Chains A and B, each alone.
Chain A
Amino acid sequence: MCQRGLPALVTLLAVKLLEYQAKEVLASLGITIPPGRVARTPEEAAQACSVLGPVAVKAQVPVGGRGKAGGIKLAQTPEEARQAAQRIIGMDIKGFKVPLVYCESALEIEREIYLGFTVDRDARANILMLSAKGGMDIEQVAEESPESIARLYPNPWRGPLDFELNGLVFEAGLGELARPLAAVIKKLHRAIPELDAVTAEINPLVVTKSGEVVAGDAKLEIDDNAAWRHKELETRYGSVLEGDPYEVEAKKRSLTYVSLDGEVGIIGNGAGLCMSTLDLVQRAGGRAANFCDIGGGARAEVVENALSVILMNPRVRGVLMNIFGGITRGDEVARGLVMARNNLGMKVPLVVRMSGTREEEGRAILKENGIEPGANAWEAAQKIVELTRAAAPS
């Protein structure tokens, strides 16, 4: 997607792997994970339990709070595993339909540790974090006892050195586990240079009664901007998740799109302009149905793609397009818009606010084709809200 010219996308969103996927990746880095099996049906869950013994049956969704939502159940027997999977598969957890469960052997827990890394935006660096207070919500730990989280900024070219890891482990009060922990941290850090991971969390990192260090849970987010370097991950994990159908479709078409719950479809170029367009629609008394940033350098086909995904959502009663161009050329956007409207047989009102490079040419194309460009963003927002109200079913 990035090979010709500058790419059209602003993708700050990362790809979140599911727990079982993240664990497979950790295992490939040499980190010990508990025995487990993926089950797509209740029968597969029963089978997994007959092989593994007592298991935790865990919903696979890319959001936290699964346990509280009833997405994790313990099963002693294959029949219990079957019933648990029956209840969990297809369940809705925070907007995600559970596509499958992961059946995992229970661990004999001696102690629980927190290990993770993320990008510290303020420091413009990666930060490794280790805490003896594992198994709890780390945000809560950070709030209540920030001193219990030891931190390290590893050099991004050579990674953390042994003495730095040693220091981190002792600072976290985990000196008696210095060797095995340093080894696990080093392996986890490989996910940065090798996989373009931007966030990873093993919480809890379990020390078992037999002294093994095992990943109890796993979160892993891969930088979307680096997807071209990791085609194998996309091939392997790209199609498992049934998230929001419009977001899935948008992703297939390489659009930066987030579903929201209003009735006004939004297309903008640039994340900031797009966000401020949502703000304006709300201020005008309407609600946005989505965030859709077509980025700089938007070509005609990108505009058509964006519009067709937005119109798939039956809640959309009108579309507001806000294009202010530098690298984006008004004539290309206008041509794409006219083509898309014609191809899609668009029936809901469309308000277009456009200016920037080649705006006169773009406006002329719109006018020739019977689309009136709005004067400014605020007026355009008010106009679309008015039109969608008029189009609302009474």
Chain B
Amino acid sequence: MSDAAILTCTGLTIGYRNQKAIIKEVAKDLDLHLMRGEMVCLIGPNGSGKSTLIRTLTGIQPPLSGDVLLSDRRISDFSPEEKAKTLSVVLTSQVQAGYLTAFDIVALGRFPYTNWAGKLTEKDNEIVLTALASVGARDLAGRFIHEMSDGERQKVMIARALAQEPELMVLDEPTAFLDLPHKIETMRILRLVARKTKKSILLSTHDLNLAIRCADQLWIIDSGGNMITGTPEDLVISGTFGSAFEIEGVRFDAIRGEFSIPVEKQGTFSLAGPDSVERIWTLYAMERIGFIPAEGTRADVTVTLRMDGDIPRWQYSCTRGEGECGNLRELIGCISGSSGGDDAH
């Protein structure tokens, strides 16, 4: 097993100490294995010790006890240059450099390989351009970093980590600051990199929904410093995933694989109609305004969805009366009175 693992920890305790004593133990007795070509998402609530773990695993901070083995060697035994050739990082802090092009920044990833003046050889050049291309940022090469959007900048930083030709890439919250499509794009790029180049990737994130969908393995730290590892789907099925994150009033929906937003219950409803996008979103809309499906019992509201060619129509009947609506805004307005859109009437 150990020849396939790029990063192994046994009996690792992480935390902080001063000269004399241990000040704070963040997590104890961690046994972690990260395989080659695998993508691992490290998730956990704020303050659970994700950053401490990442700092320890990358050798920035010494462990309180136990060992971190990188390619079966203790990480503290690596020279800075050897470590740089095995492990590269993408930090969460934004790079503030002006007058540097994307090419310049990615070329800095060749730092451990170039001569004293940092001169790029033909081969270095090629690696830099390949790195840019594999994150889909080839056309950004000549653009200045301070003129880029957050999403573009993140791609360049990933390309830089890639150009360092490591075996393991560690990314600290690479999807923070990004909007949802760019979060997904970043994850897609990282997955592709892991698949194509056989590099291992460890990333911390707060985007649980994305982590479930993308990771080969999840490492979950709960607020007590306990670590749970496993395949995302297994963790969802066993309910471990939900219980690690649920807080007062917020529940994990194991069917949809996401956290549901709690609403005050207004009543029950029944919905009839053909299976379609419209039907699914009618369900969501009803749930959003506080109606839950009436299973067996009499429904407070009955909605019938019918397709008039391509045009959906909603018929409803409830205590307020009955009628037909052309869109969900109207329907919500009719059912809930003031809480929907009043201007429908």
Chain A complexes with chain B: no
Binding site for A on B (CB under 8 A): none
